[in-house]
Amino acid sequence: MTAQIELKNIDKHYGAFHALKKVSLSIEKGSFVALVGPSGCGKSTLLRSIAGLETITSGDLHIAGKEMTGVPPRHRDIAMVFQSYALYPHMTVEENLTYSLRLHGVGKAEAKAKAAEVAATTGLSALLSRYPRQLSGGQRQRVAMGRAIIRNPKAFLFDEPLSNLDAALRVQMRKEIRALHDRLGATSVYVTHDQIEAMTMADWVVVMRDGVIEQQGRPLDLYDQPVNRFVAGFIGSPAMNFVDGVISEDGRGVVVGAGDRIPLARQAEPNRKVVAGVRPENLRVAEGAASFHFEVGNVESTGSATYLTSKDGALQLVQTERLGFSVGDRVGLDIDPALVHLFDPQTGARI
Amino acid sequence: MGVIMETGPAVGGLMRRFLASLRDGVGFDILLVGAAMVFLIAMAGLPLIYNVLMSFQQVDMFTLGSLIRPWAGFQNYIDVVREPAFWLVAKNTFIFVFFSMGGQFVIGFALALFFAQNFPGASTIRGLFLVSWVMPGLVVGAIWSWILAGDFGVLNTILKGLGIIQSNVFWKSDPAFSIWAVVIANIWLGLAFNMLLLSVGLAAIPRDLYEAAELDGANALQRFWTITLPMMRSTIGAVLSLGLIGTLQQFDLFPAITEGGPANTSTVAQYWSWQMSFQLYDFAKGATISVMMLVLVLIASIIYVRSTRHEVRG
């Protein structure tokens, strides 16, 4: 495997604002990488820097082994799908698809044939003579994708491409984009604020915050081994519960209240203040003696799952069975000690 | 007595209902539309019809005061075309309209593109350009009259300093240059308006279209031809149509700079029409010339309305 896109110590300043701080990232050829993080974390800036739409303040950027720092976007051989799709409103679908080919002097007949081919793979064959304003959101999305793939570029960049679609279509397009990626053997970089999209689509997830890469890795590794409290809280839905506590005298549990203690699978430093992280789906309602308790503040049932939220809002629990609890009930809880994460209360780093 | 007793309350009820509808019903809308209609008909519609009517009548000192005058048919139009100055004025009008609009549009577009580049102070400086548009035509004319003056004008001084001309050019009194003197002043006067409208059109083009085009491989010139121009289609149509109307309306500069001279070499249709009516008191010919211009403006207006109907955005 070779790196198709290689970023080394990328810095980006907007005036006084430090948008990207020494970002280094290597994107393998053929991989699907998701950049994920809250708004303003720098993920879009990073993507636009790869495209050349933003100039980086310092650092090295290589695409397919070539230095790209000073190269204008049109010479980078990269395709991008915009959040707004950025279809050319005054061109038909076919003209939108063939725009780049026509710019590069490809003959009319050849461009037409290629457009037909791409339209067939993206399901646009019947729409070639329409204008973008005559298309639905999902169809526009497909045109944007078609416009990207017709060029056979070195990499595909996606900037939150699904955020303007309704929920059902989003799930469908998620699969289509991933299937397309696999079929083309393309290299894709996908920016999203939706961690579900990142987890389900990508081979490699990069979590960013405040211009810094907090963690990168395979989706399930991020879920199982978050390096800090931010990543732990960001990945997974519903979000991980965080409970303040102190490690017990014997170092085998976290004392979180009167008589309540979350068990640990390993020995920890006694009397140390920690934040225990437990995922809502890992909590179980205790059948026998419970290790800790909470008071039910809210019960939500979706049919397939039951969500219980504690009275103080600090804890949430998801169970796939139907639970007959009501507000005010005191519930005993249990957890597999191996699934408890510990974080430092000051730095948020994993312990 | 009994009759009045019966109708009184009915009339009162009608009145009340009418007043109520004025306050919060459809009556208020009719009142507003009505006021505008009355104003339009009285101040624009009737004079326009009267003007068209006059162009088909024989008008002289004896019939000036009456509405119904001897019918002339197209005789006034024939007479106007047969005037010795007609073709000269037509040529001048064409030069004035074509080059004023062309200059205003090209330079205005260039400035609009320049100020769209988002450098510090761009919008402030662009705002300052509006000063030229706010200034009265007579004042602009007076200033340009000085700039273009043959013996003491600053333009001649600059051109001589740059070595472009050897001796003074008499812009206003040389028959070869007189119409161009007014064209230059008019370009300056209308520049800001063109730039402003085109700036608005430019600002309405989404930035990401340019980014998409850039990634698709378009260089700056290709982006201009394939994105900017087609996206500006309706704006350009509007600017050119309004430019035509504005140029055909331009009057103030002529009395201030050349007074149509020398020997009608800078007379244009609108100035000629005014001369006919208010200097020679040949109201029929004056009206006829203005009706000819009206037809031109009407054509431009139709093009303008159609171009705004063809919005491509979205």
Asked if A85 and A225 sit in the same domain, the reply is yes
Asked if A212 and A70 sit in the same domain, the reply is yes
Per residue in B102-140, pLDDT tens?
Answer: 999 999 999 999 988 878 888 888 888 888 778 888 898
Asked if A229 and A271 sit in the same domain, the reply is no
| Contact between chains at B212 and A86 (C-beta distance less than 8 A) | yes
Tell me the shortest Cα–Cα distance from B312 to chain A, in angstroms. 6
Set of chain A residues whose Cβ sits within 8 Å of the Cβ of B231:
89-90
Asked if A153 and A13 sit in the same domain, the reply is yes
Asked if A296 and A174 sit in the same domain, the reply is no
| Contact between chains at B233 and A90 (C-beta distance less than 8 A) | yes
- pLDDT of residue B5 exceeding 50, the answer is no
Asked if residue A310 belongs to a domain, the reply is: yes
State the total domains in chain A: 2
Which of B206, B218, B312 has its CB closest to that of A90? B312
Set of chain B residues whose Cβ sits within 8 Å of the Cβ of A79:
215-216
Which of B219, B312, B314 has its CB closest to that of A74? B219
Tell me the shortest Cα–Cα distance from A91 to chain B, in angstroms. 9
pLDDT score of B314: 39
User: Facing residues of A241 across strands?
Assistant: A278
pLDDT score of B244: 87
> Predicted confidence band at B4 (pLDDT cuts at 50, 70, 90)?
very low
Q: Which residue of A has its CA nearest to B230?
A: A90
Whether the CA torsion A186, A187, A193, A197 is positive or negative: it is positive
Q: Tell me the domain boundaries of chain B.
A: 2-54, 75-309
How many C-beta atoms lie closer than 10 Å to residue B211's C-beta? 20
Per residue in A249-289, pLDDT tens?
Answer: 888 888 887 778 888 888 888 889 999 999 999 988 888 77
ipTM of this complex: 0.84
Residue A269 tokens read as 């430093």
Ramachandran angles phi, psi of A334, nearest 5°: -140, 160
Distance CA(A310)–CA(A331), nearest Å, equals 9
Distance CA(B79)–CA(B77), nearest Å, equals 5
Q: Which of residues 261-300 of A touch B (CB under 8 A)?
A: none
Distance CA(B178)–CA(B132), nearest Å, equals 22
Q: Helix axis angle, A137-149 relative to A167-184, nearest 10°? A: 20
Asked if A230 and A292 sit in the same domain, the reply is no
DSSP H helical ranges for B120-223: 122-129, 131-134, 137-147, 154-161, 178-203, 207-215, 220-223
Asked if residue A350 belongs to a domain, the reply is: no
Least confident of A10-19, A339-348, B13-22, B247-256: B13-22
Asked if A135 and A267 sit in the same domain, the reply is no
Residues A86/B211, Cβ–Cβ less than 8 Å:
yes
Residues B182/B217, Cβ–Cβ less than 8 Å:
no
Which of A73, A87, A133 has its CB closest to that of B214? A73
CATH number at residue A271: 2.40.50.140
pLDDT score of B59: 85
A222 Cβ under 8 Å from any chain B Cβ: no
The contacts of residue A270 (CB under 8 Å, 6+ apart) are: A247, A248, A249, A250, A251
Residue A335 tokens read as 């957890």
> Predicted confidence band at B46 (pLDDT cuts at 50, 70, 90)?
very high
What proportion of chain B, given as a percentage, has pLDDT over 70?
Answer: 94
Distance CA(B171)–CA(B168), nearest Å, equals 9
A258 Cβ under 8 Å from any chain B Cβ: no
| Contact between chains at A103 and B211 (C-beta distance less than 8 A) | no
End position of a domain, from candidates A177, A209, A234: A234
Per residue in B54-68, pLDDT tens?
Answer: 999 888 877 777 888
Residue B312 tokens read as 């491509």
CATH number at residue A48: 3.40.50.300
Mean pLDDT for the stretch of residues B179-205? 91
A124 Cβ under 8 Å from any chain B Cβ: no
- pLDDT of residue B313 exceeding 70, the answer is no
Q: What is the CATH code of the structural domain delimited by B75-309?
A: 1.10.3720.10
Set of chain B residues whose Cβ sits within 8 Å of the Cβ of A80:
211-212, 215
Distance CA(A91)–CA(A105), nearest Å, equals 18
Tell me the shortest Cα–Cα distance from A83 to chain B, in angstroms. 9
| Contact between chains at A147 and B216 (C-beta distance less than 8 A) | yes
| Contact between chains at B213 and A88 (C-beta distance less than 8 A) | yes
Q: Which residue of A has its CA nearest to B217?
A: A74
Asked if residue A314 belongs to a domain, the reply is: yes
| Contact between chains at A89 and B213 (C-beta distance less than 8 A) | no
Set of chain B residues whose Cβ sits within 8 Å of the Cβ of A72:
214
Per residue in B152-182, pLDDT tens?
Answer: 889 999 999 998 888 888 888 888 889 999 9
Tell me the shortest Cα–Cα distance from A121 to chain B, in angstroms. 20
End position of a domain, from candidates A176, A199, A234: A234
Tell me the shortest Cα–Cα distance from A317 to chain B, in angstroms. 43
Residue A100 tokens read as 């780049």
**Parallel, antiparallel, or unpaired for β A253-257 and A241-247?**
antiparallel
End position of a domain, from candidates A211, A234, A257: A234
The residue type of B242 is L
Distance CA(B286)–CA(B293), nearest Å, equals 11
Asked if residue A24 belongs to a domain, the reply is: yes
Pick from A254, A266, A298: nearest CA to A280: A298
Residue A261 belongs to domain spanning? 241-343
Mean pLDDT per 10-residue interval, chain A, length 351 residues:
85 90 91 92 92 91 89 91 92 93 90 92 90 91 92 91 88 90 91 92 94 93 94 91 90 83 88 91 84 87 89 84 84 89 91 87
Residue A311 tokens read as 């009275």
Set of chain B residues whose Cβ sits within 8 Å of the Cβ of A103:
216-218, 222, 226
Set of chain A residues whose Cβ sits within 8 Å of the Cβ of B209:
86, 88-89
Buried b (16+ CB within 10 A) or exposed e, A300-328: eeeeebbbbbbeeeebbbbbeeebeeeee
| Contact between chains at B227 and A88 (C-beta distance less than 8 A) | yes
**Residue in A80, A150, A159, A164 to test binding to B, most B beta-carbons within 10 Å:** A80
Which of B206, B215, B227 has its CB closest to that of A84? B206
Q: Which of residues 59-78 of A touch B (CB under 8 A)?
A: 72-74, 76, 78
Set of chain B residues whose Cβ sits within 8 Å of the Cβ of A51:
211, 215
Asked if A162 and A38 sit in the same domain, the reply is yes
Q: Which residue of A has its CA nearest to B232?
A: A90
- Name the burial class of residue B176, with classes exposed (0-12), middle (13-18) and buried (19+) by CB atoms within 10 angstroms of its CB: exposed
Residues B314/B232, Cβ–Cβ less than 8 Å:
no
Asked if A184 and A222 sit in the same domain, the reply is yes
Which of A84, A88, A100 has its CB closest to that of B217? A100
> Predicted confidence band at B310 (pLDDT cuts at 50, 70, 90)?
low
| Contact between chains at A73 and B211 (C-beta distance less than 8 A) | yes
Pick from A192, A213, A215, A212: nearest CA to A202: A192
Pick from B212, B234, B239: nearest CA to B223: B212
Asked if A30 and A147 sit in the same domain, the reply is yes
CA distances in angstroms from A329 to A200, A295, A341, B76, listed in the order given: 36, 6, 27, 100
Tell me the shortest Cα–Cα distance from B208 to chain A, in angstroms. 6
Residue B300 tokens read as 């431009």
| Contact between chains at B218 and A103 (C-beta distance less than 8 A) | yes
A79 Cβ under 8 Å from any chain B Cβ: yes
**Parallel, antiparallel, or unpaired for β A341-343 and A330-335?**
unpaired
Distance CA(A161)–CA(B208), nearest Å, equals 13
pLDDT score of B64: 78
Task: Give the three-class secondary structure for A69.
Answer: coil
A100 Cβ under 8 Å from any chain B Cβ: yes
Buried b (16+ CB within 10 A) or exposed e, A6-25: bbeebebeeeeebbbeebeb
Asked if A208 and A146 sit in the same domain, the reply is yes
Distance CA(A161)–CA(A180), nearest Å, equals 14
The residue type of A346 is Q
Asked if residue A184 belongs to a domain, the reply is: yes
> Predicted confidence band at B10 (pLDDT cuts at 50, 70, 90)?
low
> Predicted confidence band at B12 (pLDDT cuts at 50, 70, 90)?
confident
Asked if residue A348 belongs to a domain, the reply is: no
Asked if A64 and A38 sit in the same domain, the reply is yes
Asked if residue A349 belongs to a domain, the reply is: no
**Parallel, antiparallel, or unpaired for β A241-247 and A273-278?**
antiparallel
A and B: number of Cβ contacts within 8 A: 67
Asked if residue A278 belongs to a domain, the reply is: yes
A15 Cβ under 8 Å from any chain B Cβ: no
pLDDT score of B234: 83
Least confident of A10-19, A119-128, B275-284, B301-310: B301-310
A140 Cβ under 8 Å from any chain B Cβ: no
